Amino acid sequence: MFVKNNYTSSWYSKPQESISQNLSGSILNHLFLPHNLPSSSDTDYLIDSNHRHEYKLLEYVNKYLKSLDAKNELSVFQVLKKCFQYWTVIQNKENCSVPNLQSIIQKLVPGDFLPLYFHAQNAAILIEIDENHTDQPLISSWEVSLPPDVITSSLEPHFSDFPVPVFRLPNRSQLLSSVHCELLIDFMNNTIEHAKVQKASYRFDEVRDVPISHYVCQWWITQFQDAQVHNQINPSIAFKKKHRDQIRYTRSMLPFRRSGLWMTIKVVLHTIL
């Protein structure tokens, strides 16, 4: 039924129903981690071909939020709907352009959020428009997935702490600049640094490991002039996210790992709610 293209490493199927079944099965894999998970990334629809279809997971969350009854919604659900509407557009690499980024950032109003997940950097960012300082956006970034040696180091669960440090910008102009938007697109498409592995006297990129997140989590913040640490964070909203990850690897180039986009979605939901 399926033909695998050796050049693109993508799954093709003539019947549209089969594509839908592959997508549905893949979504279930990442949301619920059932038994009999794939043994490599190239047999999972969402993360095959360098995570080419991973954004579809976000599209389904967006559809669900749109389906909620507007008459019975709390105001926070309107914030969520708008956040995921914008995020869904930009997370699709085909739509992630400088004009689209600038347009969405310009449209953000007080109380709005705009996340972005960068699989190529193993990192995510969150832009927030503060209701009390409407022209001084808040920005933050964090590592999404843990390295394989951490995940497999023990049977004890691993957690990440939130919220992460937040920084306030003096205005929105730096976020809107073409140079900054081009940088975000580059983060989306190109891994800057891989973990290294030693073989004999040589060091090689370990592509089976997660990319180094330093450039988004640390360097990105330093590129903004006059960014200030935002200290007005209520300790009562602190939370932890458990890394329920799986690393499945059997005679393949890349292992199966749980979607980093799904982890980012959960963090964003918890942050806003």
pLDDT band at 189 (very low <50, low <70, confident <90, very high): very high
pLDDT above 90 (res 159): yes
User: Mind listing the pLDDT tens digit for each residue in 87-108?
Assistant: 999 999 999 999 999 999 999 9
Check residue 73 and give its pLDDT: 72
Are 48 and 54 contacting, i.e. CB atoms less than 8 angstroms apart?
no
CA–CA distance, 257 with 40 (Å, rounded to integer): 8
The reported pLDDT for the residue numbered 205 is 67
Residue 139 contacts residue 167 (beta carbons within 8 Å): yes
Q: In this predicted structure, what is the pLDDT of residue 10?
A: 45
- pLDDT, residue 6, reads 37
Return the pLDDT at 15.
56
**Over the chain, what is the mean pLDDT?**
87
Domain ranges of the chain: 71-272
**Residue 2 confidence (pLDDT) above 60:** no
pLDDT surpasses 70 at 74 = yes
Mean pLDDT, residues 242-248 taken together: 82
Summarize pLDDT for 104-127 with one digit per residue, the tens: 999 999 999 999 999 999 999 999
Query: Which pLDDT score is estimated for 158?
Result: 92
pLDDT at 13 over 60: no
45 torsion bin: left (phi>0), alpha (psi -120 to 50), beta (else): alpha
Provide the percentage of residues in the chain whose pLDDT is more than 90: 60
Our measurement of the distance from residue 107's CA atom to the centroid of its chain's CA atoms, rounded to an integer in Å, reads: 21
pLDDT (0 to 100) of residue 9:
42
pLDDT value, residue 42: 84
Q: What's the per-residue H, E or C state across the chain? A: CEEECCCCCCEEECCHHHHHHHHHHHHHHHHHCCCCCCCCHHHCCCCHHHHCCCHHHHHHHHHHHHHCCHHHCCHHHHHHHHHHHHHHHHHCCCCCCHHHHHHHHHHCCCCCEEEEEEHHHCEEEEEECCCCCCCCCEEEEEECCCCHHHHCCCCCCCEEEECCCEEECCCCHHHHCHHHHHHHHHHHHCCCCCCEEEECCEEEECCCCCCCCHHHHHHHHHCCCCCEEECCCCHHHCEEEECCCCCECCCCCCCECCCHHHHHHHHHHHHHC
